[in-house]
Structure 1
Amino acid sequence: MLAAMKPKPAVTEPACAPQQSPRDPLERVLTHVERHLFEPLSLTTLADVAGLSQFHFSRLFAARVGESVMAYVRRRRMLCAAARLGRNPGVEDEIEAPALIALALDCGFESQEAFTRAFAQVFGVTPGRYKRDPARYQAAAMERAMNQTPAEKPNVTLLDGVTRKDAFLVAGISERISKDNMQAVPALWPKLMQHVPFDGQKGPVCYGLCYGSNMEEGSFSYMAAAEIEPGKRPPAALTLMQVPAQTYAVFRITLGAGEIHPQMQAAMQCIFSEALPNSGRKPSGGIDLEVYGERFDPDKAGSVLDFYMPVEG
């Protein structure tokens, strides 16, 4: 079964080789944000500007920019607000309420409280404290950003062509994932391994399924699973899920030594920020698959797995 689902690896150049394109959807979005910064902006609008589904646009934006698109919009608005505050620095601890409310509304916030919370997330202090010493707090915000250490560039290759895979049934353990509980993803795998192989399991291949994204929240569901024969019942701790027939672009990931989870995070960033845009393939939405096949060994450097992304055929 594993051989039947693998396309021929005809690509020799790494998929993450840097390339520039004048039609880069992220460039269009960033330009649109700057031109309409203080107008109503939404994930739906910006995904349309990019020409991508909301799901894949969100992952692409986060991979390239390092934060969600709406967090980026809020941060850009905060930087503009900080510039306005910094033009007239003073020694007072607080800004008069009418002036702060006006600034909040100008920056697209519905209330002074929401604006103050967002401002503090970027600069670490309230607008009133910032106004006392803008240079100090600008430097602190920049230092926090620069101290975010980038992960080592992963080894990702786009395999030749596309792969069509029929619908199949899996049994596994799932959890809702957000930026606050990303470590829940690797924790699912030991729970699954307690039950495999199980009666009715179809082959040794395991899958990581990504689906059901909520773009506004930045959350999605993840399932660690194995294929099961139709009509079979899995162990009570596992739930069934149908993966529909889909056409995929397949990205091969070769892991190095060390923990797998941070390498997978770096690989996903590479795929959505570089490999996918450079591939010319358009995502179709659906269920993304991490495929852990016969060449995957978590204890060895050089271990290989494939990431199947649904694309238009």
Structure 2
Amino acid sequence: MTEAAIERYKARLRRVLDHIDRHLDGDLSLAALSDVAAFSRHHFHRQFSAALGMPVHRYVQLARMKRAAYRLAFGKSGSVTEIALEAGYEAPEGFARAFRRLFGQLPSEFRKSPGGEPWLAAFAPFNQARSKLMTPEYHADQVEIREMPGTPVAVMEHRGDPARIGDTIRRFIAWRRGAGLPPSRSATFTVFHDDPRTTPPGECRLDLCAATARAVEPNGDGVTAGLIPGGRCAVLRVTGSSDDLEPAALFLYRDWLPASGEEPRDFPLYCQRVRFFPDVPEHEAVTDLFLPLR
């Protein structure tokens, strides 16, 4: 089999994954997905499992559960029953049992306090399966150098294991709502002070930021005023999941920066969350990654 033939085969499977992302509320039966791939219905389930390492129905279940988990943890509306129906369950009881097997918590418990490590463990097989076909490739012509203005921000610090970031995100979302700074009116940034590959989990530091020119009133949530300084930045747009931005960051540091002749500026790597999952399907999420330059 030639490389071109292999790539065409993978492209048909990628078309299936893209279809699943776009149609989580639609017909994702084996028959429907085999038609999307233009594979025989008699063989598609084996082809999918061989390529991704899990059956079609399990992949679809995890894709729907991931959206459900995000809506429970970070959404501002939707009852557990509504979220259960969106996830493909006819009754909330079945959804609750499946959710508890996956996360070790009932949906109502998870909504109040999402567990970070069970979350990561639950979706590790799903993310690993996707990475076999959906890992993005980056090229130098995707990097744009921009002159960025200084941006005053409200900052909530996260200090410690990145696996626990979900709780900090929930608290930051609640503060933003109370302060009248929703993402639709206030740009959302994350500043990465440390490299999680080389920093012990308990010592990792990152800042969740919302752009605002207003004074940050004293509060009990630990939100303070900050500034993302202006200056030249190399910008790489990441489309799709932003669960792991390390491949994009690695490309900037390992491949783009040495060949560019540029020098980093004395401010950490940061990103702007332009479009969020699950507000948009995961394949439509957009994150801009900024490497500050001199």
The interval holding the TM-score normalised by the smaller chain is 0.3 to 0.5
TM-score by length of 1: 0.41
The structure with the largest helix share of the pair is 2
Question: Based on CA coordinates, which of the two structures has the bigger radius of gyration?
Answer: 1
TM-score (norm 2): 0.44
